[in-house]
Structures are given as structure tokens and as C-alpha cells.
Amino acid sequence: MKNPLSLNNIDSYISEMENEKWIDNLLREELPFSLPDNFAGKVANKAVRQFEWKQRLQQFLVFASVLVAGILIGGIAIYYFASENLQIWTDYLTQNINYLTLGLVAAIFILFVDKVLLPMFMYSSQRKRNHQGL
């Protein structure tokens, strides 16, 4: 158990008291600059916007992961449950790999546009309208 009256504790207590006095003095002084009246609202809007973008990006990543996982699970299911027709499935996949890849990329791109880009463009156009006073 530590001794509460040790020199280290007294020094840290004195330094904490000096820091508190210094902070109190700073808070009582007039600021050398002025903040706009809506400063807190701007900071809050920026924080909300960053949270929304993070949420949208996470939502996109979850949906894209579910899409890719569904395709992988379907492939594994075909491998185990339709092993007698595996050659037919592999022939189909190798013949149509370009179309299947294009379809997957298109689906992920549409998902990205829907979840990330479209809200970003809508927000920027709304912001321009608000600044123009429309």
C-alpha cells in the first residue's frame, strides 16, 4: 500500500493544483479571437456528417461481403451436394467467367453508387443550394 504522504504524491498534488489554477485563469481571460455564433452547430454537423459517411461505408462493405460470401457458399454447396454434376458446373463457370465477373463487378459498383456516391452527391448539391439561398 502506498503512503499518501510521500514526496511524490505531494509534488504531483501541487503540480495538479498549479495546472488547475492556470486553466482557471485561462478560462476567465477574454479570448484573443472570436468564434462565430453557430460554431457549436457547425462542429456538430461536421461530426454527424463524418459519422454518416462511416456508417454508409460500413453498410456498403457489409452488403458487398454478404454478396461475395453468398457466391462462395453457393459454390461450396454445389461442390458438396452436386458433385456428380461438378464437371457441368465447372464447364459453365469457365465458359462464362467473363460474364459472371462482369455481373459481380456491376453489382458491387451499383451497390457502391447507391450506398456511398449518391448520398455524397445529394449532400453536396443540398449544401450548394443552402449556400446560394435557394
CA distances from 64 to 30, 59, 67 (A): 53, 9, 5
For residue 7, what is its C-alpha cell?
Answer: 514526496
For residue 3, what is its C-alpha cell?
Answer: 503512503
Contacts of 89 (CB under 8 A, 6+ apart): 78, 82
Quote the percentage of the chain above a pLDDT of 70: 84
Quote the percentage of the chain above a pLDDT of 90: 18
8 A C-beta contact, residue 63 and residue 111? yes
- Band the pLDDT of 36: cuts 50, 70, 90: confident
